[in-house]
Amino acid sequence: MKDIKKIEIIQRPPPPEPARRTNPLARVFDELVRFCQSRSMFMLHYCTGCGAIELPPAMTSRFDMERLGIQPMVTPRQADILLVTGYVSVKTLKRIILTYEQMPSPKYVIGICSCTVNGGMYWQSYATAKVLKDYIPVDVYIAGCMPRPEAVISGLRALMEDIRTGRGDAWKKYYQNYDFYLGNQQRLFGEKWQTPTDVIAEAHHYGMMTDQTLGEHTDLLEQNEVPLDALRTRLKARTE
């Protein structure tokens, strides 16, 4: 049997220091805002797999997630954190992307369970998406099959620290590298894949357009874009 002491522990490399404003008053204000953000978060728990079973103990009296300022929220439009709690089937991934795009920025994603990291025990399944961060940016992974509530709380604390220090900015990648994420989504769902959110307009709005935002996949989206059903129904009703 392998000696557990000989297993190498890989430490998370420290992320680069975020840019700070030069004006000391502005810096204090930024730090205060980030501190308040990190201590007051609404969490949308998208219970995709078995890892969801660890959330009730993490939320209730024993581990009491609310003491950290984190509480559940039922709508993506008011949520800050998206928890993906296990394996993600191809059908479910579509709903996760729709949900993620509806959340207001800044928004954070936590992948719970090994299945979100690399497919876990479903690594060979044709019906699951293996690596969550290929489709949406992930801030923190909590590995394990399934991770205990202590690990969930520890992951949430790591995210809080990243937000407090200004390092929790994975959400920017979705705008800055939209063509990459869209390309992976199109490979899985087909070239006609589209969502109701205009991500490119949002990237303009946040000033996050880069040369990776647009590309061959956004061109394909533009070619195949059709009015969505709800919109089509409204248009039809208006012309009748």
- Interacting residues of 179 by C-beta distance below 8 A, sequence separation 6+: 212, 213, 214, 215, 216, 217, 218
49 touches ligand SF4 (CB under 6 A): yes
- Contact assessment for residue 179 and residue 219, using Cβ atoms and an 8 Å cutoff: no
84 touches ligand SF4 (CB under 6 A): no
Q: Where are the alpha helices (DSSP H) in 62-198?
A: 90-102, 114-118, 149-164, 171-176, 178-189
Give the three-class secondary structure for 172: helix
Q: Which is nearer to ligand SF4, 128 or 176 (CB)?
A: 128
How far the first Cα of the chain sits from its last, in Å, is 74
Considering only CA atoms, give the Rg of the chain. 20
168 touches ligand SF4 (CB under 6 A): no
**Residue ranges of E strands in the chain:** 41-46, 70-72, 81-84, 88-89, 108-112, 128-129, 140-142
160 touches ligand SF4 (CB under 6 A): no
111 touches ligand SF4 (CB under 6 A): no
Of 22-30, 71-79, 110-118, 123-131, the segment contacting ligand SF4 by CB under 6 A is 110-118
| Structure tokens belonging to residue 121 | 């025990």
132 touches ligand SF4 (CB under 6 A): no
127 touches ligand SF4 (CB under 6 A): no
Cβ at position 151, least distance to ligand SF4 in Å: 12
Rounding to the nearest 10 degrees, give the CA dihedral for residues 163, 206, 109, 224: -170
119 touches ligand SF4 (CB under 6 A): no
Q: Which is nearer to ligand SF4, 144 or 215 (CB)?
A: 144
114 touches ligand SF4 (CB under 6 A): yes
Q: Binding ligand SF4 by CB under 6 A: which of 51, 137, 149, 168?
A: 51
| Structure tokens belonging to residue 57 | 């103990």
121 touches ligand SF4 (CB under 6 A): yes
Q: Binding ligand SF4 by CB under 6 A: which of 59, 110, 146, 156?
A: 146
Nearest C-alpha neighbor of 79 from the set 107, 55, 98: 107
Cβ at position 114, least distance to ligand SF4 in Å: 4
Cβ at position 161, least distance to ligand SF4 in Å: 24
Q: Binding ligand SF4 by CB under 6 A: which of 145, 228, 231, 235?
A: 145
Cβ at position 146, least distance to ligand SF4 in Å: 3
Nearest C-alpha neighbor of 140 from the set 12, 4, 3, 2: 12
Place of tokens 């502005």: 26
Binding site for ligand SF4 (CB under 6 A): 49-51, 86-87, 113-115, 120-121, 145-146
